Amino acid sequence: MSRLAILTIALALAVVPSAFAKDSTINVHLDKGKTSKNISSSIKGDAGTSYMLQVKDGQVMQVLFSTSSGSCYMNVFEPGNTSEAVHIGSSAGNEFGASPTKAGTYKIQVYQMRATARRNETCKYTISFEVTGDGKAAAPAATTGPSEVAKGACMYKIGVDAEIVETSALKPGYWELIMKAKSGHRKVACTVSDDGKIAEWVEMK
């Protein structure tokens, strides 16, 4: 095998999760009367953590992930499919939304890439789960406002206590939310899709 081929294989292995990751499993339960839960934890080396969150059909789910030290990511798997992720954090980012959800258990896998896992590094993180809705059938496509996932993504990104003061419908499935910080004069325009993907972020003067 040529040196170039060996180098190509080594680079490919360095950017994927360890195939032999020793994951622990945690079932996520929302407290009675609550719609969200925050968990702060850490992983070391190739020992990842898989969070299992059970939802009903037609709910709204949002998962937000952030690290305080180290480099780790989250993948999300839909109910009934634990082999193919619908969200790959290393390329798609640290936010995932599903509206409406599929009935069953979503798996959210927190892991390190093979390179950092081999160095036995530690990654500290916080993961937030939110599930809203009563599980009824999804609303028709024409809605009267942005989804809870869309609003949650913008409110999370602004990073301070704020309120939405204006909402404008753009193309189907996209909204512009004008947010104002409750303290100070900061004002932001957030263009976001109903599944929580932020397309534009403008700090307004």
Predicted pLDDT at 136: 59
Predicted pLDDT at 88: 94
pTM for this model (two decimals): 0.58
Predicted pLDDT at 7: 43
Rounded-to-integer distance, Cα 78 and Cα 37, Å: 19
Q: Residue 19 gets which letter from DSSP?
A: T
Rounded-to-integer distance, Cα 10 and Cα 90, Å: 18
Predicted pLDDT at 13: 41
Tokens of 159: 């990073």
Predicted pLDDT at 5: 47
- The torsion region of residue 144 among left (phi > 0), alpha (psi -120 to 50) and beta comes to alpha
Strand order in the sheet with 36-44: 36-44, 122-132, 60-69, 95-98
Predicted pLDDT at 171: 87
Nearest Cα neighbor of 28 from 83, 121, 150, 110 is 110
What number of H helices and E strands is found in the chain?
Answer: 4, 13
Cα atoms in the Cβ-side hemisphere of radius 13 Å centred on 93: 10
Predicted pLDDT at 144: 73
Q: 10-residue block means of pLDDT along the chain (205 residues)? A: 48 42 86 94 94 95 92 94 92 93 95 92 96 69 76 91 91 92 91 93 87
Tokens of 99: 């509206």
CATH class belonging to 3-132: mainly beta
Rounded-to-integer distance, Cα 153 and Cα 63, Å: 10
